[in-house]
Each structure stands twice: as structure tokens, then as C-alpha cells.
């Protein structure tokens, strides 16, 4: 529960750093990993199959 002093919310340093990674973090990780795998496959096909 956040503490309020003089109309401002006061948190400890640990409370201020805490956060929950939302679904956007998983989405970015999935998209970037898929892009890297695709690019490596394209490079491999260009240099080793042709």
C-alpha cells in the first residue's frame, strides 16, 4: 500500500523499481527472435545453397 506524506506518494527504492513485465515484453521478444531466425535462414540459403 503506498504511503502518502503531504499529498505525495512515498515509496522505498525497492518499491519504486518493482514492476510487472506485461505481454508487450513477450511480444517484443517473440518478434525479435523470429526475425533473427528468419534472417539467419536467409543468409544461410544465400551463401551455402546457391
| 5 backbone dihedrals φ, ψ, rounded to 5° | -130, 125
Q: How much is the pLDDT for 41?
A: 95
Q: Sign of dihedral through CA atoms 29, 30, 31, 35?
A: positive
Divide the 50 residues of the chain into consecutive groups of 10 and give the mean pLDDT of each group.
79 79 84 97 89
Q: What are the residue ranges of helices labelled H in 1-50?
A: 13-17, 23-44
Q: How much is the pLDDT for 6?
A: 83
| 10 backbone dihedrals φ, ψ, rounded to 5° | -115, 125
Amino acid at each position: 500500500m503506498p504511503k502518502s506524506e503531504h499529498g505525495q506518494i512515498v515509496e522505498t527504492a525497492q518499491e519504486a523499481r518493482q514492476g510487472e513485465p506485461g505481454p508487450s515484453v513477450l511480444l517484443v521478444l517473440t518478434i525479435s527472435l523470429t526475425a533473427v531466425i528468419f534472417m539467419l535462414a536467409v543468409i544461410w540459403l544465400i551463401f551455402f545453397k546457391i
